[in-house]
Structure 1
Amino acid sequence: MAKKALITGITGQDGSYLTEILLDKGYEVHGIIRRSSSFNTGRIDHLYNNREIMNKKLFLHYGDLVDTSNLNRLLEQIEPDEIYNLAAQSHVKVSFEIPDYTGQVDALGTLRFLDAIREVGLREVRFYQASTSELFGKVQEIPQSEKTPFYPRSPYGVAKLYGYWIIVNYREAYNLFACNGILFNHESPKRGETFVTRKITRAASRIAAGLQQTLSLGNIHSKRDWGFAPEYCEGMWRILNHNKAEDFVLATGETHTIKEFVESTFIELGIEIDWQGKAENEKGIISKIDLSKAAQLVNTASQIFQYQLTNDLKIGQTIIKVDPNYYRPTEVDLLIGDPTKAEKVLGWKAKTKFEDLVKVMIQADLEKVLKRGF
């Protein structure tokens, strides 16, 4: 009999990749989605519209982490073997504007789920909690491992810290098989457009197509450990299928600035950038242009696009600006993970290099922009 997995946040980047992985492994997958006035299943539409999968191997249920009775009912109905709690208000900047909601979902939502498991009596279920490198915030050591002290710097980080410790507490107090995956930044073409990596690749594509003049960013000197999301979703499965409930850091062990991500993105398009000014006055200007590289990236010769690469870009043109409105009230300057434990215990290791990650993201966004303009 196939294992049953329940995924919250199934329509997100990680949820969609994890669904594909579990279906490939023969699981019956159930996903919780929130009611919306517009369709919000875009990342799983290729599965949603597959008659061989939908309502046979993949099932969607309406629900919300703020609704305790709903969680109880779903657990009684589905009786999952594994639960992956990926749903969250995960935007750090936004968490400063809606801290109460962030806490309700990211912190108390986890508690509601754990209590629902106990209430329903699912003694053998395994629970994965999507934790975050934002727990480390104002880092206490470099690199950050499972033993590094936490110092979150945002309502999101604080809410996730509660989620982390309630997992540990219920594991120790009630012998639940509950694990934290402390995942460092992981990106893909499915990353939300409001997150900085997608904001960069999408804007760069629009600039190359003459549809946008400049890209405005906040702290371009902050450093992050960026990996490729599908690999991290495979890591989630390994964490939950280990023979012991433990917490693991998943990371590449490398760090790059947002500025480097910008430079690498534009280089893939054949645009080189020089930087002028400092702090709020820093800006990126075009120093070299060869859009034939962008044309090769998406093979414009063999595809019909609605939009074309522009001929209007000029040497010396400003395309990157720093906007203090994008600064966070408390910045996290450096995150770099130590994945040693995951490598030794789980046999998991990030494979995709930084440059390859940038390339796959800019390639996907450039194709989208040239086809539809956004």
Structure 2
Amino acid sequence: MPHPGDSPVRARRALVTGVGGQDGSLLARLLLDEGYEVAGVVRREHSAYRDTLGDLIERIELVRADLLHHTSLVQALQATRPTEVYNLAAPSFVPRSWDEPIVTAEFAAVGATSMLEAIREVDPSIRFYQASSSEIFGEPRETPQTEQTAPSPLTPYGVAKAYAHFIAGSYRKRYGMFTACGILYNHESPLRPVDFLPRKVARAAAAISLGLEQELVLGDLSARRDWGYAGDYVRAMWLMLQHSEPGDYVIATGVSHSVEELVEHAFRAAGLDWRDHVRSDTSLYRGAAELHDLVGDASKARRVLGWEPAVSFEELVRLMVEADLARLQEASASR
């Protein structure tokens, strides 16, 4: 029992930027389950996040702030007093970074620096998680990649994420701040926007099985990715900030799958043969922009954090198809 004069135990509070996205909403739910008080940084009216956050909108505190406005971040930190900050905010659709390189650089690189400076001003003891990305490896010099693999980013997104990765490490060394970077490989869930290939495929398989669509047109079916389940990956984020020492961790399955495998599993989950419904169009190939050999070695996370992915590739694809089947059937029933 506590004794008079004992210092009160500080409640575990987390502030999540990018809370309205796939990773942010999954992380917020995990943190709530772990007993945290959770606040999320948003830039728009709260009602704009109702579709993505669902019931979470009533369970977490939403704070208006702008990653590019230092004072607003300071005010957000002062208002919420977090023990942990998870910086997930950045444009996440990689191909779009070629269309919006300045915006990508501002939010992914400058935004991370702005948050680190705000933490240093308000409370340097706050533990900070930076969402890094396999895109920092770009054209990798070795496969699989580890935490020691030299970054070689190719896309504007990858370059901006590399900057954020390095600046988090710089603040760790210069100021002794607890900063951890998760070098996450592709991770998906039913919460992904349809812009992303796995969700696009899952939704198409569901729609075609219901007779709502007839064909899915894709680019290079031989392109490969190291795909995992986003729910597993946000748990890794949390584990990084629970460890006694800060560090960087590759989070990946260590296995690459082709787009054709993704399509095959998705259409099988919908009771279809993909060859009857999917067409490859060479005009959709990414050409020189296509990244190859991005496969992560998560041995350090397994050894140090005790992290293991729980959902297999096939289970992930089935989960996404079933979620889209349910969505489409509900939409049809409500008409």
Q: TM-score range by the shorter chain?
A: over 0.9
How far did 1:128 drift? 0.1
What is the aligned partner in structure 1 of residue 263 from structure 2? Answer: 262
Write the distance in 2 (CA, Å) between the matches of 1:105 and 1:19.
21
Q: How does 1:193-342 map to 2 (within 5 A)?
A: 193-273=194-274, 285-286=275-276, 318-322=277-281, 324-325=283-284, 327=286, 330-342=289-301
Write the distance in 1 (CA, Å) between the matches of 2:78 and 2:45.
24
Going from structure 1 to structure 2, the CA distance change for 1:346 and 1:46 (only over 3 Å counts) comes to: same
Going from structure 1 to structure 2, the CA distance change for 1:70 and 1:323 (only over 3 Å counts) comes to: farther
Tell me the alpha carbon deviations over residues 297-325 of structure 1, each in whole angstroms, 9 at most, x when there is no partner: xxxxxxxxxxxxxxxxxxxxx53232524
* 102-111 vs 214-223, which moves further: 214-223
Going from structure 1 to structure 2, the CA distance change for 1:324 and 1:5 (only over 3 Å counts) comes to: same
Code of the residue aligned with 2:62 in structure 1: it is L
Write the distance in 2 (CA, Å) between the matches of 1:362 and 1:221.
21
SS at match of 1:271: coil
Code of the residue aligned with 2:289 in structure 1: it is T
How far did 1:259 drift? 1.5
What is the aligned partner in structure 2 of residue 347 from structure 1? Answer: 306
Given that residues 206 and 373 in structure 1 are in contact (C-alpha distance below 8 angstroms), is that contact kept between their aligned partners in structure 2?
no
Query: Deviation above 4 Å: which 4+ runs of structure 1?
Result: none
Write the distance in 2 (CA, Å) between the matches of 1:10 and 1:37.
12
Q: Which runs of 5+ in 2 are unaligned?
A: 1-9
Tell me the alpha carbon deviations over residues 191-234 of structure 1, each in whole angstroms, 9 at most, x when there is no partner: 12211110110111111222222222233222111111111111
Write the distance in 1 (CA, Å) between the matches of 2:311 and 2:170.
34
- CA RMSD between the two structures: 1.7
1:106 paired to 2:108: yes
Going from structure 1 to structure 2, the CA distance change for 1:328 and 1:195 (only over 3 Å counts) comes to: farther
Write the distance in 2 (CA, Å) between the matches of 1:85 and 1:328.
32
How many residues get paired? 324
Tell me the alpha carbon deviations over residues 16-36 of structure 1, each in whole angstroms, 9 at most, x when there is no partner: 111111111111101011215
Larger radius of gyration: 1
TM-score, normalised to structure 2, is: 0.92
Given that residues 153 and 331 in structure 1 are in contact (C-alpha distance below 8 angstroms), is that contact kept between their aligned partners in structure 2?
no
SS at match of 2:182: strand
Q: How does 1:64-143 map to 2 (within 5 A)?
A: 64-120=66-122, 122-143=123-144
Given that residues 222 and 334 in structure 1 are in contact (C-alpha distance below 8 angstroms), is that contact kept between their aligned partners in structure 2?
no
How far did 1:37 drift? 9.7
Write the distance in 2 (CA, Å) between the matches of 1:333 and 1:36.
40
Q: Which runs of 5+ in 1 are unaligned?
A: 274-284, 287-317
1:362 paired to 2:324: no
What is the aligned partner in structure 1 of residue 13 from structure 2? Answer: 4
Given that residues 167 and 178 in structure 1 are in contact (C-alpha distance below 8 angstroms), is that contact kept between their aligned partners in structure 2?
yes
Write the distance in 2 (CA, Å) between the matches of 1:179 and 1:328.
34
What is the aligned partner in structure 1 of residue 4 from structure 2? Answer: none
Write the distance in 1 (CA, Å) between the matches of 2:199 and 2:127.
32
* 106-115 vs 1-10, which moves further: 1-10
Write the distance in 2 (CA, Å) between the matches of 1:11 and 1:153.
27
- Higher normalized helix content (fraction of residues): 2
* 216-225 vs 345-354, which moves further: 216-225
What is the aligned partner in structure 2 of residue 15 from structure 1? Answer: 24
SS at match of 1:84: strand
